[in-house]
Amino acid sequence: MTAYILGRLSAMPITLLLVTLTVFLLIFVGGDPAVVLGGDEADRATLQRIRAEFGLDRPVPVQYADWLLRVVRGDLGRSMRTNQQVSVEIGRRMVPTLQLGVLAVAISLAIAVPAGVISAVRRNTIPDYACRLLATLGISLPNFWLGILLVLGLAVLLPWLPAGGYIDPFTAPLEGLKTLLLPAVTLGMGMAGVLTRMIRSSMLDVLGEDYVRTARSKGLVESVVVLRHAMRNALIPVVTVLGLQVRTIIGGTIVIETLFALPGVGRMLVDGFFARDFPLVQGVILVIALSVVLANLVVDVAYAYLDPRIRYA
């Protein structure tokens, strides 16, 4: 297991370096950052001042090395707009995003595990068709469209839940959960669709295995065969899909947080773009990319731990 983890870790430094390089170079894609900051009408003197102020007058490799050294020390710079430490702001805005993400994953699992298992056990019956159709809809419908429908149904027509805003569930649990419920369902439905399909096909594979037949031939009740023998093994590949979904969930928060006026990292990124707050944007994107790399690592290790065939392969 240690050898597997070390092998997996050895490939990471280059990926991480390329990730930081991509994040750093992003601000140069649109042309001279000084012009972007100063506007098209800025004169030479203004541009010179902006370049000197933000260190843009130095060669790009020097700027990158300097930025990277600061990042390694945990210093993501200061926001151009608020002059606050970017790392502090990200830490503060990460709270609603994490709450949203965790709730979305919980909701998607609560839907997908029973739906996937029922779909496989009752293969080619009406419940199976219904689950498959819902899964396809969950995957295919744009999440902001689903969000708009939910707001119309549960906030406008039936005013049960707030259409937007945020209350910290740790200070007011019930009200807080109410503000997070619609965005979390919106974000979780796509993932529920992917997971339902995955669990269904994984369950179908497992239900055909010899050990399931053995369990049945021992005279075990069908529910014990399905839940204790089949489902436990069928859920192993789901770990991988969950890991891959971290990327989708983080991407989805950008739109969902804007739609529901949630003060999370996704909305901070969009606001940062509009304000041309480069240090903030670079900081947020870097943290997001590092979270994805870390999530993938955790998933690979967890998968190897759960399925010994991986680490001995």
Q: Which residues bind another protein (CB under 8 A)?
A: 14-15, 18-19, 21-22, 26-27, 29-30, 36, 136-137, 139-142, 144-145, 148-149, 151-152, 156, 163, 247-248, 250-252, 254-255, 258-259, 269-270, 273-274, 281, 285, 288-289, 292-293, 296
Smallest gap, in angstroms, from Cβ of residue 141 to another protein?
A: 5
Smallest gap, in angstroms, from Cβ of residue 56 to another protein?
A: 14
- Residues, the chain, total? 313
Nearer to another protein, 170 or 274 (CB): 274
Alpha-carbon distance of 90 to 8, in angstroms, equals: 28
Nearer to another protein, 184 or 225 (CB): 184
Backbone phi, then psi, for 117, in 5-degree steps?
-65, -45
Smallest gap, in angstroms, from Cβ of residue 124 to another protein?
A: 14
Q: Which two tokens stand for residue 280?
A: 């903030």
Smallest gap, in angstroms, from Cβ of residue 70 to another protein?
A: 20
Nearer to another protein, 90 or 163 (CB): 163
Nearer to another protein, 137 or 224 (CB): 137
Nearer to another protein, 153 or 173 (CB): 153
Smallest gap, in angstroms, from Cβ of residue 173 to another protein?
A: 28
Nearer to another protein, 102 or 133 (CB): 133
Give residues with Cβ within 8 angstroms of 154, minimum separation 6: 160, 161, 182
Smallest gap, in angstroms, from Cβ of residue 164 to another protein?
A: 10
Smallest gap, in angstroms, from Cβ of residue 245 to another protein?
A: 10
Nearer to another protein, 274 or 312 (CB): 274
